A and B are shown apart, each in its own frame.
Chain A
Amino acid sequence: MSGGARSRSGRIAQWVLPLAALAALCGCGGGGGGGGATPGSSGTSTWTPGVFLPSAHFAALCAAPRSGTDPTSGKAYPDRQGTTLNENDWLRSWTHELYLWYDEVQDVNPASYTTPNYFQAMKTTETTSSGAPKDRFHFTYPTSVWESLSEAGVEVGYGVQFEIIQATPPRSVKVAYLQPQANLPAQTLASNLVRGDTVLQVDGVDVVNASDQTSVNSINAGLQPSTAGESHTLEVLDPGASTPRTVQLQAANITSIPVLVETTVTGPGGSTVGYILYNDQIATAESELISAIDDLKSKSVTDLVLDLRYDGGGYLDVASELAYMIAGPNQTAGETFELQQFNNQYPTTNPVTGQPISPTLFHDTTQGFSATAGQALPTLNLMRVAVITGRDTCSASESIINGLQGVGVTVYQIGAATCGKPYGFYPQDNCGTTYFSIQFQGVNAKGFGSYGDGFSPANTTPAAGVPVPGCSVADDFSHALGDPNEGRLAAALAYLANPQAATCPSPPTGIAAPATVSQRQLLQRIFARSPLRQIRILRR
């Protein structure tokens, strides 16, 4: 299975797996074995439904082999001359081996598809209880781009996070937040953009009403620049203003601050409530979160409002650290923060690493992301926490909610439904394309991980996802994040004051289901572009 070993020498190998684990991987990656498609020198195969050769049999047999050196291994690419059919055969076997819902994939003839189309066929067609597709996270990415590296938190942009409120005409695009002034390019600083600014035009194109693809492309390019030095002109309307103004922005390599706000606010009965705005679970978050918790601890906070509304996930270990810092040792000692569950062919062994499946525990010490490893983490020792969420609250960010609930910490949810991504990947390169196909589900200490429709405040209308006590509240762009008058924070404070008889604001309608098929399709229509541009466009 040496071909398999080479094919897995992608970025996972560099960042996750030691070489020894790769060797172990080779020993366990086989599927059904025997029979099935057999590659010939001409690339022909005999497809036998329900019979699968090991994916290693087809790995690195490429219609267009790469030449040169793989930067992640320092060795020559393993690619050999093959065919589109070989690549499809590999996808078919790999999916059968590792895809979480492999037994829900229709076994269709690999000779009848292009490789991109065949990959799209290699997923479940089942739906969740809400009617949304069960698998909304099935991607490919050019390996050369996927393997690119960056300094933690550094990406091209203006230092401005735009939020798409309404994706179709009449569109609504607002400024959600900006990075700290010291991290902003000069032109962004001079623009005086603030949270709540409405973007009306990008480079002269009407953001609100434009409907043709050329205009949409211009909007995309202007809102999410791809190259440092790019300049674009935006027409914006400030909150409360009636006359738009024009600002010129120039993109740069921006360093994001993951914990953008940490403060205290006055809570129920004059108590001191901590507030953390946590936007990005990147490596630098570890030391920033420690500082934030240390500070809140020194101020003897009795409650915490954790604002995850723009937090799309990231390092799971950092999520575990934060959950521990909130709950403290009494509730978490030796407990599972999250356990990976693979498909039923691998009940005890991680099929990618070859190692026994073991849970990510609540980490009580630093893990060495940006703080020195092995240091005791500070704790707030809270029995309850209010979490502010929105449709961008996703993946490892949702793990914080689920992990805390798993050890009995009471979580109140204020805002809108989360994205619903209890799943994860081991991205895999083959022939220059990196495939993201769901391979595991994360469950908490109680074994729960079925939140494919997200978590949502209990009074959400219409009901969506897993209900959590709390209030459905729209994002309030008229107040700064961290302002106790901001709608979601105000609702969180009110809820904490009296959860038994909590009075939520009248729930908004239409914000509960960010992950619905229709909304996602609309977003993709509006922001249709190459995979690379898709990544750039709504980047915050």
Chain B
Amino acid sequence: MSPAPTPQTRLRQHRRSRAGAAALLALTLAGLPAFAAPSHATDAPAVIVRPTAASRADLARAVSRALRGAPVRLADDALTHDSLLIVGPTPPRDARGLPLNGRELGRPQHFRLLRRGSHCTLLHIETGRSQVLRHTACRVLSSRGNALK
């Protein structure tokens, strides 16, 4: 099994994903409308630090509440690398593992984690509603995508 070029390529890919996230953040901070720039003067995109079981449950509850109580599955590291969280229907699969609805016509929902004063606040971009995450520690992201203490 020839190893080339996949390991390097995968690494590049992963770096590119991070770079893409940083670029996305930069666009958001530049005030582009689609992903709802912070609405309060003190709002700043943030990421979760030191996630715990309590903070994960806090986040899952907030997302579920924003989406009328639907059950939601999040990654353990959700919002720890990026301030944007994308949530959509879990794509059910058929017996071969293919999406049952392979022509998805809908749109996902977007959330932005913000540092608002001393609070970590989750903004549901589509509705503009926000919730404070009381059991969550977060820190502001710099415009270059680096977390600031």
Whether B104 contacts A262 by the Cβ 8 Å rule is no
- CB neighbours (8 Å) of A316 from chain B are 103-105
Whether A369 contacts B91 by the Cβ 8 Å rule is no
Could you tell me which residues of chain B, from 57 to 102, have a CB within 8 Å of some CB in chain A? Answer: 63-64, 67-78, 84-102
- CB neighbours (8 Å) of A150 from chain B are 72-74, 87-90
Q: Does A26 contact B (CB under 8 A)?
A: no
Residue-wise interface mask of A (143-154) relative to B, using a CB-CB cutoff of 8 A (1 in contact, 0 not) = 001111111101
Q: Does A313 contact B (CB under 8 A)?
A: yes
Contact of B85 among A151, A181, A265 (CB under 8 A): A151
- CB neighbours (8 Å) of A315 from chain B are 104, 106
Knowing A151-B85, A151-B86, the reply to whether A291 touches B19 (Cβ < 8 A) is yes
Count residues on chain A whose CB falls below 8 Å from chain B CBs: 104
Contact of B6 among A261, A367, A395 (CB under 8 A): A261
Q: Does B107 contact A (CB under 8 A)?
A: yes
Contact of A421 among B1, B24, B102, B105 (CB under 8 A): B102
Closest beta carbon of chain A to B55's beta carbon, Å: 15
Could you tell me which residues of chain A, from 439 to 457, have a CB within 8 Å of some CB in chain B? Answer: 442
Residue-wise interface mask of A (192-235) relative to B, using a CB-CB cutoff of 8 A (1 in contact, 0 not) = 00111000000000000000000000000000000000000000
Whether A291 contacts B17 by the Cβ 8 Å rule is yes
Closest beta carbon of chain A to B67's beta carbon, Å: 6
Q: Does A524 contact B (CB under 8 A)?
A: yes
Residue-wise interface mask of A (246-262) relative to B, using a CB-CB cutoff of 8 A (1 in contact, 0 not) = 00000011110101111
Count residues on chain B whose CB falls below 8 Å from chain A CBs: 64
Whether A154 contacts B73 by the Cβ 8 Å rule is yes
Whether A482 contacts B72 by the Cβ 8 Å rule is no
Contact of B86 among A254, A369, A374, A535 (CB under 8 A): A369
Whether A295 contacts B73 by the Cβ 8 Å rule is no
Residues of A within 8 A of B (CB): 11-12, 14-16, 69, 71-74, 137, 139, 141, 145-152, 154-156, 164, 180-182, 194-196, 239-240, 252-255, 257, 259-263, 265, 281-284, 287-288, 290-292, 295, 312-317, 366-375, 391-392, 394-397, 399, 419, 421, 423-427, 436, 442, 478-483, 485, 520, 523-524, 527, 534-540
Residues of B within 8 A of A (CB): 1-6, 9-10, 12-14, 16-17, 19-21, 23-24, 27-28, 32-35, 63-64, 67-78, 84-108, 110
Q: Could you give 12 example pairs across A and B, Cβ below 8 Å?
A: A15-B89, A71-B69, A195-B1, A259-B13, A313-B99, A369-B86, A374-B32, A395-B102, A396-B104, A427-B101, A482-B6, A483-B5
Closest 8 CB pairs of A and B: A395-B102, A313-B102, A538-B97, A15-B106, A373-B34, A312-B98, A424-B103, A480-B6
